[in-house]
Amino acid sequence: MVIEDVKNILNIKGCYVLKDSFFRDNLRYAVERVDELKKEELAERMVGTIRRRFPGQSGLVYCLSIKEVEEVTEKLNAGGVKAMPYHAQLSSEARKRAYLRWFTDQVQVIVATVAFGMGINKNSVRFVLHYTLSKSFENYYQETGRAGRDGRPAHCILYLKFADVFRVSSLTFTERHGLQNIYAMMAYCFNRRTCRKRQIADYFGDSWAHQCGDRCDNCASGGGEGDGDGGQLVEVDVTEDVADLMNILAFVATRQDRKLTFPKLMDLWFGKGEKRLRPESLVICRHSREAAQTIVACLLVDGYLKEEFHFTPYSTISYVTAGPSSWLMKGGGGPQQPIRYWLPPSSSSTTKKSGGKQSAKRASTTEGDDSPEQMEAVASKRKLTLKSDDQGKSKVTTNGENTQKSAVDYELITLE
Ligand SMILES: [Zn+2]
């Protein structure tokens, strides 16, 4: 996308494009799911990780907001990890001082917003932690690329909170490609099946002729490279789960004239939240909360759900509504096309609660095959089209909305 933009802006006809590989052999990528952790607990976990795994080694922590930078810096210092903040509201002298102290190993960690980037020239960065996910995959790759420039092993860990996706989308949806960018980031985070490095290569249109080994969490757990058992992930038919979600959304919109945020939708799906917002026919979610979040994330990327933004004097709120692909669900009294996502086996139950009673319906689990042919077959069955741009980057088009990954290609992230 960037190369095409630059070519168009410069209006160079028939130019020769030289690209280096995006593969960095010495970097290890991982995503850790931290939904259950409170802010302080996540900071404590980071302190523990830094002290245990990276004692005396240099690193970076990226946050979404200046407030977060200040809070995390304070927590790291309180936990015995010397850290300094770096963000746009600091004077240029303060920023220079922080950089120099970090560069000369007087402090171990710089905690920064995206403002910390240009001109970093430290080769011995051993870890890059993301307290919050980045606004785009380009940003994430660039930020993690500051690790291990000396060629020695370095670690890139992203701490994923489902709710952070909507914090970022509320900030960036007015930007050019803003939503597309955060959904690409989200697709990477929730994809537990494909090698992380391969996902990076695919995203940037790089050729893939590498061996990851166990240098990403997906490969280490048997999910990556497509030659393991997917970390015992199974492909689950979630079509009726999607119908349940649509039922909740329709009931709240038409009977109560209300809109739901994503956390509220999740609460209702699990039989919690305001009683009057629950449809009588509510079918309580049969999955774990993490698996349910994965399903919702995939549905958002695939256009079955979409975000609608509402401005208040103090903030922007993201609401969830039926997306452009949801028409596929409406036909002949039932869904026409199966929707399948990769989930851990424990989340695929043969029993499902309905109105407090157990019912045996809705058990549909199939063994997986994520070959390109299978992906294409499933995508086309669901009226999605897989296409390649001139850089060979795969895209899924859902009724005009571009996303980066196939619908069949997302799984639950579990804690290491
Ligand atoms: Zn891998």
Ligand 1 centre to CA of 24 (Å) is 11
What distance in Å separates the CA atoms of residue 114 and residue 345, rounded to the nearest whole number? 38
pLDDT of 85 reads 96
Identify which has the larger pLDDT, 115 or 182: 182
pLDDT tens digit sequence for 296-341: 999 999 999 999 999 998 889 999 999 988 877 665 455 467 899 9
Structure tokens at 289: 């909360």
| CATH 1.10.10.10 in the chain, residue ranges | 234-395
Ligand 1 centre to CA of 259 (Å) is 40
- The residues whose Cβ lies within 5 A of ligand 1, an ion, are 195, 212, 216, 219, 224
Ligand 1 centre to CA of 191 (Å) is 12
Ligand 1 centre to CA of 158 (Å) is 15
Structure tokens at 100: 């120099």
pLDDT tens digit sequence for 273-300: 889 999 989 999 999 988 999 999 999 9
pLDDT of 379 reads 36
Ligand 1 centre to CA of 221 (Å) is 9
pLDDT of 295 reads 94
Ligand 1 centre to CA of 314 (Å) is 42
* Three-class HEC string of 326-353: HHHHCCCCCCCCCCEEEECHHHCCCCEE
Q: For the residues 139-166, what does the mean pLDDT come to?
A: 95
Identify which has the larger pLDDT, 392 or 283: 283
DSSP-assigned letter for residue 231: G
Ligand 1 centre to CA of 90 (Å) is 38
Q: Contact at 8 Å (CB) between 339 and 238?
A: yes
HSE value, Cβ hemisphere, 13 Å, CA-based, for 227: 6
164: number of Cβ within 10 Å = 20
Ligand 1 centre to CA of 344 (Å) is 18
Distances 244 to 270, 280, 285, 363 between C-alpha atoms, Å: 11, 12, 8, 15
Helix, strand and coil content of the chain, in percent to the nearest 5, comes to: 40, 20, 45
pLDDT of 118 reads 65
Ligand 1 centre to CA of 132 (Å) is 22
pLDDT tens digit sequence for 20-65: 666 788 999 999 999 999 988 999 999 999 999 999 999 999 999 9
Identify which has the larger pLDDT, 389 or 323: 323
Ligand 1 centre to CA of 148 (Å) is 17
Strands of 175-295 (E only): list them.
234-237
State yes or no: pLDDT of 343 exceeds 50.
yes
Question: What is the average pLDDT score of the chain?
Answer: 79
| CATH 3.40.50.300 in the chain, residue ranges | 24-220
Ligand 1 centre to CA of 226 (Å) is 10
Ligand 1 centre to CA of 216 (Å) is 4
Do the bridges between strand 154-160 and strand 27-33 make them parallel or antiparallel, or are there none, so unpaired?
parallel
pLDDT of 70 reads 96
User: Where do we find the tokens 């929730």?
Assistant: 190
Ligand 1 centre to CA of 123 (Å) is 23
Radius of gyration in angstroms for the set of CA atoms belonging to the chain, rounded to a whole number: 22
What distance in Å separates the CA atoms of residue 94 and residue 85, rounded to the nearest whole number? 9
Ligand 1 centre to CA of 260 (Å) is 37
Ligand 1 centre to CA of 382 (Å) is 28
Ligand 1 centre to CA of 195 (Å) is 4
Sheet (strand 234-237) strand order = 340-343, 234-237, 365-366
Ligand 1 centre to CA of 295 (Å) is 22
Ligand 1 centre to CA of 220 (Å) is 7
State yes or no: pLDDT of 87 exceeds 50.
yes
Ligand 1 centre to CA of 217 (Å) is 7
Ligand 1 centre to CA of 224 (Å) is 5
Give the CATH architecture of domain 24-220: 3-Layer(aba) Sandwich (3.40)
Out of 74-83, 208-217, 251-260, give the one with best mean pLDDT. Answer: 74-83
The H-or-E segment that residue 301 falls in is helix 289-301
Ligand 1 centre to CA of 258 (Å) is 43
pLDDT of 214 reads 85
Ligand 1 centre to CA of 215 (Å) is 6
Identify which has the larger pLDDT, 44 or 225: 44
Is domain 234-395 in CATH 1.10.10.10, yes or no? Answer: yes
Ligand 1 centre to CA of 244 (Å) is 35
Ligand 1 centre to CA of 22 (Å) is 14
State yes or no: pLDDT of 126 exceeds 90.
yes
Ligand 1 centre to CA of 223 (Å) is 8
Ligand 1 centre to CA of 39 (Å) is 29
Ligand 1 centre to CA of 412 (Å) is 16
Identify which has the larger pLDDT, 170 or 330: 170
